[in-house]
Amino acid sequence: MTAIPASGERVRTRLPGRKPLVILGERALEILIRLSGFSAIFFVLAIFFFVFREAAPVLFDAEFDAKEFLFSTEWYPTSERNVRYGTWALTFGSVAVTALAMVIAVPFGLGAAIYISEFSGKKQKEILKIVIELLAAIPSVVWGFIGLTVMSKLIVDLTGAPVGVNLLNGGIILALMSIPIIVSIGEDALKAVPDSFREAAEALGATKLQMIRRVLLPAARNGLLAAVLLGVGRAVGETMAVLMATGHAVRIPHGPLDSVRTLTANIAAELGEAAAGSPHYRVLFLTGVLLFVITFVVNLTADMAIRGLRRK
């Protein structure tokens, strides 16, 4: 310890300055983090570019008809005499399977999220979360297998449908696959609502259900919407399970017991057969672009919906 100078001069402790290397390191780290951020944009654009590049030549083909491609239900890519590439039935199949899956998955998924977050005890919560994560880890081919064997037999037995692999089967399988995502993201969203809201509401004499309906759900709205949309994304993009469970018939279904085919399953099943560079091959890539556009529109609407809600 140095003695305080009698003259009253201020004694200043010198802090060691930062070394240039440390500053440089900091800069480098910042650039690295920025790069990883931008890489996400880069990869999305790159994927779109490559898919589109494979598909593009067919767009300029004189025989290609964009209207037929989008709105015709005639998908005869290997016909000898009259080749037709109409994807409407496939698009419809994708949308129908996804919609059916969501009708099942959203109530169950959000219900489970609310139960885990608000009603279950500590130990039960841990167990449920682990099991649900386990459910999310089941490979899609296993789900497809379940659809093909167990579910299909069950559907035939219960409904008397001629075939068990159909829209209903695919919808149920997809619902089971999306529920874990909806539950875990939804539960995170509910967990993010401060406890003070719950207590304030209940201190005002609200019952638990009133608290959940009037305070918790509005507060967690954006997160819950995100959970549902991630579920939709999972369902739209899923390939193997729907390929095995939906029956793979190109047609507009008249009911849940009709077989359908989805855009994804169609690509997976036919790309291996199509000669590289052939019109069939290119149209399949164009189907990929269509899928891209569909998911993009879904995400964009979601984003705008969330923004709109926030503004309100």
Judged by beta carbon, residue 202 or residue 270, the one nearer another protein is 202
The interface mask with another protein, positions 204-243, x = CB under 8 A, is: xxxx--x---xx--xx------------------------
Q: What is the identity of the amino acid at 258?
A: D
Nearest to another protein of 211, 243 (CB atom): 211
Minimum CB–partner distance for residue 106 and another protein (Å): 22
Instruction: Count Cβ atoms below 10 Å from residue 158 Cβ, excluding itself.
Output: 9
Count of residues that interact with another protein, criterion CB under 8 A: 18
Q: How far is the CB of 191 from another protein (least distance, A)?
A: 15
Answer whether 235's CB lies under 8 Å from 101's CB.
yes
**How far apart, in whole angstroms, are the C-alpha atoms of residue 4 and residue 11?**
7
Instruction: Indicate the residue among 56 and 192 with the shorter CB distance to another protein.
Output: 192
- What does residue 164 show for φ and ψ, rounded to 5 degrees? -90, -20
Closest approach of another protein to the CB of residue 219, in Å: 4
At its nearest, how many Å lie between another protein and the CB of residue 192? 12
Q: Using CB under 8 A as the criterion, what x/- string covers residues 102-141 for binding another protein?
A: ----------------------------------------
Residue closer to another protein, measured from CB, 215 or 267: 215
Name which of 5 and 121 has its Cβ closer to another protein: 121
Binding mask 178-207 for another protein (x = CB under 8 A): -----------------xxxxxxxxxxxxx
Query: Whole-number minimum distance, CB 189 to another protein, in Å?
Result: 13
- Tokens found for residue 47: 């994927």
Closer residue to another protein, CB minimum distance, 107 or 194: 194
Name, in order, each residue with C-beta under 8 angstroms of 28's C-beta and a sequence gap of 6 or more: none
Shortest gap between Cβ of 118 and another protein (angstroms)? 13
> What minimum distance in Å lies between the beta carbon of 185 and another protein?
19
Tokens 């608000």, located at residue:
118
Compare residues 158 and 203 and give the one whose CB is closer to another protein: 203
The CB density around residue 160, as the number of other CB atoms within 10 Å, is 8
- The residues, ordered by sequence, that sit 6+ positions from 273 with a Cβ below 8 Å of its Cβ are 78
Least distance (Å) between residue 306 CB and another protein: 15
Q: Which of 286, 291, 288, 248 is nearest to 269 (CA)?
A: 248
- Which CB, 51 or 217, lies closer to another protein? 217
- The verdict on 149 binding another protein (CB under 8 A) reads no
CB of 108 to another protein, least distance (A): 26
**Beta carbon nearer to another protein, 90 or 201:** 201
Cβ neighbours of residue 302 closer than 8 Å, sequence gap 6 or more: 225, 226, 229
Q: Which residues bind another protein (CB under 8 A)?
A: 195-207, 210, 214-215, 218-219
